[in-house]
Amino acid sequence: MNGQLDLSGKLIIKAQLGDDIRRIPIHNEDITYDELVLMMQRVFRGKLQSNDEVTIKYKDEDDDLITIFDSSDLSFAIQCSRILKLTLFVNGQPRPLESCQVKYLRKELIELRNKINGLLECLEPPSEPGWLVLLLPKPSL
């Protein structure tokens, strides 16, 4: 054997939750929807809670995201592709950002705000009286 697994004919699930993507080989293609949800909770342990409302969608041949609502939808999705690309949505939206990502984005937004405020101040004329100098023609001698 050359060190590579022979996965020909086997089902591969590529599941994405936010920016985390996992590749999972499936040995039993008769997986039910409930088993898939439990598998996703194990795979994304710590990021996906048992009380989260999870919506699972797969990419079809046109790269459209199709909702998997039950075991029947899952069976159809498996028949369409040997590599099933899943995207998980939690409580109606992709998983929220991690706290370190939020801190980084907040810092970047504050820097942008400060730059924009500085530019806006450059565009406003000072409110001091006498700052405007009228240009009058030189008197001719």
Arithmetic mean of pLDDT, 45-72: 87
The verdict on pTM exceeding 0.85 is no
Confidence of residue 139 (pLDDT cuts 50, 70, 90): low
Express each pLDDT in 2-49 by its tens digit. Answer: 444 444 558 899 999 888 899 999 887 788 999 999 999 999 888 877
Q: Which two tokens stand for residue 141?
A: 């001698």
3-state secondary structure of 8: coil
Single-letter amino acid, residue 91: N
- Contact between 26 and 13 under an 8 Å Cβ cutoff? The reply is yes
Q: Say whether pLDDT at 75 is over 50.
A: yes
Residue 60, CB half-sphere, CA atoms under 13 Å: how many?
10
Ramachandran angles phi, psi of 26, nearest 5°: -110, 125
Distances (CA, A) of 82 to 13, 23, 62, 92: 8, 13, 15, 27
Q: What is the pLDDT of residue 131?
A: 54
Q: What is the pLDDT of residue 56?
A: 93
Q: What is the pLDDT of residue 4?
A: 43
Express each pLDDT in 80-138 by its tens digit. Answer: 888 899 999 887 765 555 567 677 888 889 999 988 888 888 887 666 555 555 555 66
Q: Which two tokens stand for residue 54?
A: 């999870």
* DSSP assignment letter at 4: -
Higher pLDDT, 140 or 86: 86
Buried b (16+ CB within 10 A) or exposed e, 15-48: bbbbeeeeeeebeeeebebeebbeebeebbeebb
